Amino acid sequence: MKITEIRPIIVGNPWKNWIFVVVETDEGITGYGESTVGLNSLPVEAAIREVAHLCKGKDPRNIHALWDHLYKAMYLTEGQIQKAAMAGIEIACWDILGKSLNTPVHQLLGGRMRNEIRAYANGWYRGKRDPVAFAEMAAEVVEKGYTALKFDPFGASFQTISAREERLSIEIVRAVKEAVGEDVDIIIEAHDRFTVQNAIRIGQRLAEFSPLWYEAPVLSSDIEDLVAVAKAVPVPVGVGERFTSQREFTRLLAHNVIDIINPETIDVGGLWPTREVAAIANANNAVVALHNARGPICSAANCHLDLTLPNLLIQETFQDFNDPWTRDVVVGTPELRDGYFQVSDRPGLGIELNEEIAREHPYSAGNFMRLFESGWETRFGNSSAEGAQPQR
């Protein structure tokens, strides 16, 4: 079997353009992957096109050899754009391998360790930044069956936070916790917002709410700062969504103060590199909660991996809170039932991409969340760019 074509397809999800990867073969088997990042949609699309010729003619079932070939061809690059391009191709190759063997990807990764995957909800808070509004929206999430949810209550704050904004943020957390009850876990997202001292003070104030973890309180690339915060706050700190190499996780976990990691499969380079990250975590007595602020193909890939991990904690999802049409662009994704993913045994990832629907929702320069602008929580999408299209 040989790869004959690799095509990136950008789908204009309103709050983040999704980048899907189609890998075609001479035996008629097509695999689907994903390379979605944030504001780098067009650079990643270009990176996929640039490396496609390095894959053509190669057997997609030799996944490690192909990944190693790309990694060395790009001179051992650990950047997000390059890793995302590699991840999309790698995930699609797992899909092809599974289809060629009539076997689900999770079986190829070692088989089921569990029959369902606990999920936590994200993307559910799209109203006014107000404690009452947040509480009402959180209660609706619990009604869907979720036993955990994540949210960022900190508005547009960056590095510092005013006394008024901090009070409001804590009031929002309190209102959400009271609305969902003691049996539902809350996760507090900080999006790399704060300096060390601000992150510590806020982390100490969060202790009364017993969050499952406090995510990315300081710039994620500053491992020393992350460690300083984790040592000073009485709540677990989770981090890792912006890491692009196993080396970063190794350095982080060596300090023995952070034991919840949030790798982003696409940024790390695909399913197998993420599995290696999970093994590093397991060796350091840490658990894994895969980050997934990406699209439905990444979500499906994550679920297949989740089934196989001995140290899985929980899986992030936006699935129930995306626009309705997004459920049709990729069909066959794992079903969410009462807050738990159910993963089928269909071959490969068990999904199909509807390219006709994908074409109905093209790239827009405004399809981004601007996390340090007021009102970003509403996921206002392309309103700020009025659906602007680039020159393609």
Catalytically active residues are 191, 291
Local structure of residue 208 (DSSP, 8 states): G
Buried b (16+ CB within 10 A) or exposed e, 339-363: bbbebbebbbbbbebeeeebeebeb
Q: Burial of 320 by CB count in 10 Å (0-12 exposed, 13-18 middle, 19+ buried)?
A: middle
What distances in angstroms separate CA 54 from CA 19, 29, 96, 190, one per listed residue? 20, 19, 18, 39
Beta-carbon neighbour count of residue 67 at 10 Å?
Answer: 20
Supply 142's token pair.
Answer: 């619990």
Place of tokens 């991996």: 305
Could you give the CA distance from residue 42 to residue 227 in angstroms, rounded to a whole number? 34
Helices 271-283 and 80-101 cross at an angle (nearest 10°) of: 100
Beta-bridged to residue 312, according to DSSP, are 288
